[in-house]
Structure 1
Amino acid sequence: MTPRRYFNGISKLRHYLQVVAFTLAVATLQYAFMPDKPYGPPVVYSVLIGTFTWAIIDLGRELVPSAAETGWPQGWQGIALVVVGIAVGYLAGTAVADALCVHYFHFYPPGTSTTGADQRTSILITAIAGLVGTYYFYAIHKSAYLEGKMAEARVHATEARLKLLETQLEPHMLFNTLANLRVLIGTDPARAQHMLDRMIGYLRATLAASRSTRHPLSAEFARLQDYLELMAVRMGARLAYTLELPEALQDVPVPPLLLQPLVENAIRHGLEPQVQGGHITVRASTRAGADGPLLVIEVNDTGAGLPATLPATGPGQSFGLAQVRERLATLHGSQGTLELIAASAGGTSARVTFPLENPANP
């Protein structure tokens, strides 16, 4: 049981309009079975009885602690509220309808009284309609609650899947970096020491940030710069890079460690096979999409270009690309894409595209 939630006037108005539509349907059905009687009185009685019944039950439940999954009182309180609502709704609605039908609409002459059969029919219709209407609103509240829980479960499942992908990606990055460090230890201990210092600083800045499912694009570019500086210790003048991030896109939320596998791939398969190395450019921009603006991030290199066939997924091979594709599919479905494009002047372009999110609503 939970305390009543804040009063939602729009929701109550929507409920009342549904009740009015239901009462008009009841009046129409009643007239269909008794076409010899005028249509006006059933409408007046039905709408007024339905209005009073709705007001007592739907507004009254705001004053009673309700179950979170239905928004309705449980146990005897819920039963009592429905019974009182139907009884008082019938008595009050009938009294007001009697006055209106006689003195305002002049459906009946003064002093006219309903027969016992008409009263019993009216009570029966009110009880059935009240129970049906109550169950309807009970069911839609419970359905909405369950749908919300299902959506919440899907969000948690997506977050858990992304965390799993990230925990797989981080050791992959460390494996590659440690392999590079091992080479330098044997050939250039001084540079190996410098690289180790860079790696410690990089990990200190990166590991905490990678524990969230989103961070600003500026933070992603900052971690990318740290990584490129780390790689520059080993490659020296053979590695040059440019990072282009427009100010308007700095706060756009993106998954952490999304771009690093693409840069790793550009270095390993593009720049390292070349004696002279090469240049890496990481650029963020936007373009229009069918369902709204898209964020486009390109990692361009002037390396050896795409091989005839990409290497199989494995340690140090296409693992990072597979992870990027899977993370994009988990977050954005078919709207998240990764393309590898052979550049006309040599080298390769890796282009990531997915829906642009509002920085205020990540």
Structure 2
Amino acid sequence: MSKTRIYWTLQITGWTVLVMYEYLLYSAEYGFDSNYFFTSLANILLGITLTHLYRLVIRRWNWTALPMPRLVFRVGLSVLVLGVIMTAVNVPLDKAVLAENLVNHPFLFWGYFSGWCKNLLAWILSYTVYHYVEQNRLADLDKIMLKTSMREAEAKVLRSQLNPHFTFNALNSIRALVMENPAKAQQSITQLSNILRNSLLADRRKTVDLREELKTVEDYLELEKVRYEDRLQYRLEADPTTLYWQVPPMMLQTLVENGIKHGVSKVMGGGFLEVSTELEEQLLLIRIRNTGTLGTTDSGGVGLLNTAERLSILYGKYASFRILQEKENVVCAEVRMPMLTDGLHRFSGEVAPSTQEES
């Protein structure tokens, strides 16, 4: 049932029950009076009309958005005004119909006025409080939607980032291969094309299969091997049960790029990079190990902050990211994330970005 139908049902039922209850009490004491019965019907119509006018006013001028003192003043004034109107209409009617029963009531007006004000106050408070709570709920919902839109826009930017230096270096490496090894150059062009395509598609997708992300990483590492040759050794090990797990696109590639740029490339003789995935306590655990040390350079933080922020946007407090010095010359980046479901988008949390940066 729509809110409008519920409103009118409550209006008609509420005023009918209230007025007819008073009519039945009167009839039980004084006997049935057809004229007073029609007066009661008029009161039902008048009560519905006046309270509906109040509803139109409160919605038209958005009273529930006012500060509480101003809202309370308007509610109180409305009760008094509507009470005066109901009393002004009822006293003449009842005097004409029930004169013999009202002759001993010197404070007739004030008795009617207090009675109607009590009934109107109950209605007005009920409706105003409901409308106030409903408006605040909608306002909170609008804020959540705005925040979600902003975070989604931010996530699109983060997903689509690809280091332009990598593209430049890859093209230079391919150019050197064109004459020396045309077949390898052709393969490298295909690999670069795959990476660029995935980068362009990243802003359209929140997540991708892990196997797809690993293929992008493999293409990236093969292109880097053209540049570093034997100075770069890598290995990819993925648990088969994790291959269809949903992960943020280009996130793994960003971490791998960070490991090479701020780890392997800083070592004179080169080094290694290893990517492994497994399931651990219902979470996907991704480890990226590479040659390198932490804390000796100020560069490399953008990729790490990017990863932490994207995990926060998608998973909130349910995901974690850290980077540590695993051994003397081995840095390890670890990402833990749950299975992505629609429910996770309704929660917010923090994934603290690592304060250390890989070098």
Residues matched between the structures, number: 265
- Deviation of 1:294 after TM superposition, in Å, equals 5.1
Q: Residues 93 and 155 from structure 1, CA distance in 2 versus in 1: closer, same or farther, beyond 3 angstroms?
A: farther
Q: Residues 129 and 150 from structure 1, CA distance in 2 versus in 1: closer, same or farther, beyond 3 angstroms?
A: same
Q: Which residue of 2 aligns with 1:300?
A: 289
SS state at 1:259 partner: helix
Gaps of 5+ in 1: 8-56, 63-80, 103-109, 288-292
Q: Which residue of 1 aligns with 2:254?
A: 261
- Deviation of 1:90 after TM superposition, in Å, equals 2.0
Q: Which residue of 1 aligns with 2:19?
A: 91
Inter-partner Cα distance in structure 1 for 2:21 and 2:209: 59
Instruction: Say if 1:216 and 1:253, in contact at 8 Å, map to a contact too.
Output: yes
Q: Which residue of 1 aligns with 2:166?
A: 176
Q: Which residue of 2 aligns with 1:153?
A: 146
TM-score, length-normalised on structure 1?
0.59
Inter-partner Cα distance in structure 1 for 2:156 and 2:278: 24
Alignment-mate amino acid for residue 15 of structure 2: A
- Deviation of 1:199 after TM superposition, in Å, equals 0.7
Alignment-mate amino acid for residue 242 of structure 1: L
Alignment-mate amino acid for residue 170 of structure 2: N
Inter-partner Cα distance in structure 2 for 1:158 and 1:87: 48
SS state at 1:283 partner: strand
Q: Which residue of 1 aligns with 2:77?
A: none
SS state at 1:300 partner: strand
Inter-partner Cα distance in structure 1 for 2:145 and 2:278: 31
- Deviation of 1:162 after TM superposition, in Å, equals 1.5
Structure 1 residue 197 and structure 2 residue 190: aligned? Answer: yes
Inter-partner Cα distance in structure 1 for 2:320 and 2:270: 31
Q: Which residue of 1 aligns with 2:70?
A: none
Alignment-mate amino acid for residue 158 of structure 2: L
Q: Which moved more, 1:124-133 or 1:272-281?
A: 272-281
Q: Residues 197 and 251 from structure 1, CA distance in 2 versus in 1: closer, same or farther, beyond 3 angstroms?
A: closer
Q: Which is greater in Rg?
A: 2
- Deviation of 1:327 after TM superposition, in Å, equals 2.9
Inter-partner Cα distance in structure 2 for 1:145 and 1:348: 48
Q: Residues 280 and 85 from structure 1, CA distance in 2 versus in 1: closer, same or farther, beyond 3 angstroms?
A: same
Alignment-mate amino acid for residue 335 of structure 2: V
Q: Residues 86 and 344 from structure 1, CA distance in 2 versus in 1: closer, same or farther, beyond 3 angstroms?
A: same
Inter-partner Cα distance in structure 2 for 1:157 and 1:212: 16
Q: Which residue of 2 aligns with 1:309?
A: 296
Q: Which residue of 1 aligns with 2:304?
A: 321
Structure 1 residue 353 and structure 2 residue 336: aligned? Answer: yes
Instruction: Say if 1:298 and 1:350, in contact at 8 Å, map to a contact too.
Output: yes
SS state at 1:224 partner: helix
Alignment-mate amino acid for residue 324 of structure 2: I
Alignment-mate amino acid for residue 128 of structure 2: Y
Instruction: Say if 1:246 and 1:285, in contact at 8 Å, map to a contact too.
Output: no
Alignment-mate amino acid for residue 296 of structure 1: L
Instruction: Say if 1:217 and 1:250, in contact at 8 Å, map to a contact too.
Output: yes
Inter-partner Cα distance in structure 2 for 1:351 and 1:204: 26
C-alpha deviations, 1:229-282, integer Å up to 9, x for none?
Answer: 4434545564332131452x4554432211111111222333343646424123
Matches within 5 A, 1:28-43: none
Structure 1 residue 278 and structure 2 residue 265: aligned? Answer: no
Q: Which residue of 2 aligns with 1:162?
A: 155
Instruction: Say if 2:159 and 2:248, in contact at 8 Å, map to a contact too.
Output: no
% identity of equivalent residues: 20
Inter-partner Cα distance in structure 2 for 1:271 and 1:205: 24
More helix by share: 2
SS state at 1:256 partner: coil
Inter-partner Cα distance in structure 2 for 1:354 and 1:213: 14
Q: Which residue of 2 aligns with 1:105?
A: none
C-alpha deviations, 1:32-66, integer Å up to 9, x for none?
Answer: xxxxxxxxxxxxxxxxxxxxxxxxx872458xxxx
Q: Residues 286 and 357 from structure 1, CA distance in 2 versus in 1: closer, same or farther, beyond 3 angstroms?
A: farther
- Deviation of 1:319 after TM superposition, in Å, equals 3.1
